[in-house]
Amino acid sequence: MFKRKAYFKYISITEAKAVIKSKNAAFVDIRDESSFSNSHIPNAIHLTKNNMDAFLKNKNKYDHLIVYCYHGILSRDAAEFLMNQGFKNVYSLNGGFSEYAQTQTELQRNNEAKEIL
């Protein structure tokens, strides 16, 4: 009678890396072209208005999609949109790209500290 609304999930960087390794999954970057060109999560798909139709038509609806923006705010709307388009496993990355970049910087510092010791 009533269609149950599907909701996306929130995911941390650590959880996202595990999903990427263990499932058919992809990072989906919704930031602007300049930001994406400057830096992005390796192998991320840059989703724009220009490639949206092709993405919606060609991407497997059962793939795990981890959507990110700058700080994890706009990715919520994009994740909800993708769920409404029939995707079944959609996540919004907590903290967005800034959280990812910070995590990478911390990892690099830890590795450099180990090399010094």
Q: What CATH architecture applies to the domain 9-116? A: 3-Layer(aba) Sandwich (3.40)
Q: Is there a catalytic annotation at residue 69?
A: yes
Q: Is the pLDDT of residue 117 over 70?
A: no
Q: In the prediction, which pLDDT does 110 show?
A: 63
| Candidate list 30, 69, 79, 93, residue with the active-site label | 69
Higher pLDDT, 21 or 105: 21
The mean per-residue pLDDT over the stretch 13-34 comes to: 94
Q: Is 15 helix (H, G, I), strand (E, B) or coil?
A: helix
Cβ neighbors of 77 (< 8 A, separation 6 or more) are: none
Alpha helices in the chain (DSSP H): 13-22, 33-38, 52-58, 74-84, 96-116
45 and 20 in contact (C-beta within 8 Å)?
no
* pLDDT attached to residue 106: 78
CA distance 60 to 12: 23
pTM: 0.86
Q: Work out the average pLDDT over 74-92.
A: 97
Q: Report which residue type is found at 35.
A: S
pLDDT over 90 for what percent of the chain? 78
Type of residue at 96 = G
Tell me what the mean pLDDT of segment 31-44 comes to. 96
